[in-house]
Chain A
Amino acid sequence: MVKQWEILESKNRFYCDGRCLTGRDIGVFIFALILITITSGLFFGFDCPYLTYRLSPAVPVFAAILFLSVICFIFRTACSDPGILPRATPDEVLYLERSNITSSPQSVALPGRTIEVQMHTGHVIQLKFCSTCKIFRPPRVSHCSLCDACIANFDHHCPWVGNCVGLRNYRYFYSFLMSLSFLCIYILAFNIINIVLRAQDKPSFADAIRDTPATIVEALICFFSIWSVLGLWGYHTYLICRSVTTNEDIKDTWNTSRRGAHMKNPFSRGNPCLNCFAALCGPLPPSFLNLRAIVTPDNNNINMSPTRMMNTINIDETRQYQLDDNNYQRHSSPVPPHSDRQQNRYPSYDYV
């Protein structure tokens, strides 16, 4: 029994029978995890006992909450489907070739054609054809070469989480940055407090440091990470308020001064609060890939169960009968592939 995730053409890795996926290279992600765990572990092991006794037990409790949120968000970002768009079936490609939805004539091959979309704000957006996925890329969709897939609302491919950041995991990525910033600041602050308090009890500063050598290690790690993490968090807060993705910001897509006229971002909802609300608490579609569905011969074609079509013949069903070496009358006791897929469509443990 082959499942969809086993035959998916993108370069992702799959775990737990298609329930989780990550990008191809997870080395940097493992490194980030180890760094966060070691730093927090050193904090809990060396600083917390003294701080609990000296200040309050709330110190390790809050640190534990922050650490658990960081782990939760990084795994959620790393292991969820960022919004991978399924590739077009051969039928779709044929239909696109013959249709007149693009402005180019049919003699032009698909990769050379574009679709023009007139937005409600007056922009005209060009939708280009993706030769790998064989689709006209919707607005804000970009093809990630590392994952080899078109991602909806593509932000960037983050090596630290080993996955693309897109429509479905952007809010987890943002929450990860936020909680990691707080964790870094928290650990750094209490490292300093720890050293200062110990220095008050001990004759010299050096003695205090000798008591807790791990504190200096943690402080250094936090100090060097804090600039990038806090900087990234601030940058993404700015992007969220403007409703711009990293990809669009780098390419300067909504540059107002370039064309002279005042070009408003058509995806912005007007005010920063609403943009934040939409990005972080807005509705989230389920995964577009049905990763755990079982592959049947006509998974890529239309699944018409005979009872539905009332005695019409589908060339694919004929092929199935031929393969089965049964006679034609078999369709009276149908195997309904479509309804099977319907059951698999909404599995109860679709974590991705």
Chain B
Amino acid sequence: MEDTTRLTNDHSIKLFIQRDYSEGTAVKFQERFPAELEGRIDRQEFIEILRDINRFFADAEALSCTTFMENCCTCLTGYLLLLCMPTHYEKCVKRAAKYIDEKNESVLNPHGIFMVDPMEKGLRCIEVCITNAHR
């Protein structure tokens, strides 16, 4: 069963963009251009996508009055408020997922690249799948 999840086959290559922990445990992905994507997509464009994703998560992890008020209110209501509305972090994660979807459709898929929402991997890495058969 596990054999079918081969990394390289005739059709696809999978690579994983790792997290950047140099600034702490806040969610940030390494903004480097993987060598496997050379020739498929413009370097700057890809790094810009990664930067935008990092911006969404930086916004989610920011310490602000909004998060303070939100946490205080949820605590005071005995956490029943969480049943009614999503947290700021969840909203940012949804925005990042929507952004990745848009970029997949507009920019990445035409080049045979597919980027997976990092939340599927527990925010550990961004999975990028490249297909060969397209060429």
Q: How far is the CA of A95 from the CA of B123 in the complex (A)?
A: 17
In the complex, the chain A residue whose C-beta lies closest to that of B92 is A283
A267 / chain B contacts, CB cutoff of 8 Å: 24-25
B104 / chain A contacts, CB cutoff of 8 Å: 308
Please tell me if the beta carbons of A286 and B68 are within 8 angstroms of each other in the complex: no
In the complex, the chain A residue whose C-beta lies closest to that of B134 is A312
CB distance from B69 to the nearest CB of A (A): 9
Contact with A along B102-132 (1 / 0, CB 8 A): 0011000110101011011111110101010
B123 / chain A contacts, CB cutoff of 8 Å: 285, 288
Q: How far is the CA of A152 from the CA of B117 in the complex (A)?
A: 19
In the complex, the chain A residue whose C-beta lies closest to that of B119 is A345
B90 / chain A contacts, CB cutoff of 8 Å: 286, 346
Tell me the A109-143 residues at the B interface (CB within 8 Å).
117-120, 125, 127, 135, 138-140
Q: Which of A22-30, A35-43, A298-306 lies on the face that meets chain B?
A: A298-306
Please tell me if the beta carbons of A277 and B109 are within 8 angstroms of each other in the complex: no
B49 / chain A contacts, CB cutoff of 8 Å: none
The reply to whether the CB of A54 lies closer than 8 angstroms to some CB of chain B is no
Interface Cβ pair total, 8 Å cutoff:
150
In the complex, the chain B residue whose C-beta lies closest to that of A302 is B129
Q: A95-B7, A304-B129 are in contact. Are A85 and B122 (CB under 8 A)?
A: yes
The reply to whether the CB of B41 lies closer than 8 angstroms to some CB of chain A is no
Please tell me if the beta carbons of A140 and B5 are within 8 angstroms of each other in the complex: no
Q: Is the interface of B mostly helix, strand, loop or mixed?
A: mixed
Please tell me if the beta carbons of B21 and A283 are within 8 angstroms of each other in the complex: no
The reply to whether the CB of A351 lies closer than 8 angstroms to some CB of chain B is yes
Q: A120-B23, A283-B67, A302-B129 are in contact. Are A86 and B4 (CB under 8 A)?
A: no
Contact with A along B15-48 (1 / 0, CB 8 A): 1101101111101000000000000000000000
Q: How far is the CA of A119 from the CA of B116 in the complex (A)?
A: 27
Please tell me if the beta carbons of B2 and A90 are within 8 angstroms of each other in the complex: yes
Tell me the B66-122 residues at the A interface (CB within 8 Å).
67-68, 71-72, 75, 78-79, 82-83, 86-90, 93-94, 97, 104-105, 109-110, 112, 114, 116-117, 119-122
Query: Which residues of A are at the interface with B, using a C-beta cutoff of 8 A?
Result: 68, 72, 76, 85-86, 88-92, 94-96, 98, 101, 117-120, 125, 127, 135, 138-140, 152-153, 175, 266-267, 274, 277-278, 280-286, 288-290, 300-304, 308-310, 312-316, 319, 341-342, 345-346, 349, 351
For the complex of A and B, list the 8 residue pairs with the smallest distance between their C-beta atoms, beginning with the closest.
Answer: A288-B122, A86-B122, A94-B7, A281-B71, A312-B131, A90-B5, A281-B68, A302-B129
9 sample A-B contacts, Cβ–Cβ < 8 Å, listed by A number = A76-B79, A86-B121, A91-B127, A95-B15, A101-B18, A140-B25, A266-B24, A283-B67, A351-B82
